Amino acid sequence: MRIGLFDSGIGGLTVLKELIKVHPNHHYIYFGDNLNMPYGNKTKEELRCLANNIIEFLIEKQVDLIIIACGTVSSNIDLDLKRNHNIPIYDIISPTIDYVNKNNYNDLGLIATNMTIKSQIFKSKIKKIREQACSSFVPLIENNKINTDECKNEIKKYLLPLKEKNVRTLILGCTHYPLLEKQLKSFFENDVELLNMGTILANNLKLSNETDYKLELYFSKINNQVINNVENIIGDTKINLKVIGRC
């Protein structure tokens, strides 16, 4: 099967990684729109325009289905996208909401982008959840600053209120955040369970068995930093440039 995925940058690679683990024998086509990142503060109109352009590109690549590997797009405009394109489109958030509701978590927290928190998608479907928008995390991750004091201070600023309220299960509501796993666990002194939306989606997705693995990676901006990040996450360095236009 030809599976298309997209995000604002390297975040969706955390979803791709989980998909490859569970469903290795498929042809994956990934688009990271790092030229336009971060998506977390964009308006719905901007997100719609960017996502439509990317979906058109993936359709040109003849994908059989598309996964929105972005919490911000999934939480704000997934219904529009599903309605307006004649191809199966899966959002990244619904499987996590179902999973959490089935498993009766106590002390549940959510961190995500401003736009995802603003959408109230989690709050409206999960009974008790403490939420925190973490607007600086994505630029820190994309710019390879996750091991700096600046990042440590930002984690403390955003997560201290959740720690003080005894949050012990934390939904990573932005697909970039699994890349901060080590730093987040260390802040919680390992006393936290992190829920990765990519893992939950990969375990839920029903795909027919196929035999050939292939990966195509496209980014709207390429520099050494992106190449290093992709290599660290996926172990691949063959990245193609595809600019899809600004909105």
Residue type, 53: N
Minimum gap (Å) between residue 81 Cβ and ligand DGL = 15
Instruction: Tell me whether residue 22 is exposed, middle or buried, using C-beta atoms within 10 angstroms of its C-beta: 0 to 12, 13 to 18, 19 or more.
Output: middle
Instruction: Tell me the backbone φ, ψ of residue 118, rounded to 5 degrees.
Output: -60, -30
Question: Catalytic site residues?
Answer: 70, 174
Minimum gap (Å) between residue 77 Cβ and ligand DGL = 12
Distance CA 88, CA 81 (A): 10
Minimum gap (Å) between residue 166 Cβ and ligand DGL = 26
Three-state SS at 157:
helix
DSSP per-residue string spanning 11-65: TTHHHHHHHHHHS-SSEEEEEE-TTS---TT--HHHHHHHHHHHHHHHHHTT-SE
Residues of the shown chain interacting with ligand DGL in the complex, contacts defined by CB under 6 A: 7-8, 11, 37-40, 70-72, 113, 116, 138, 174-176
Closest CB to ligand DGL among residues 5, 192: 5
Closest CB to ligand DGL among residues 7, 131: 7
Closest CB to ligand DGL among residues 46, 107: 46
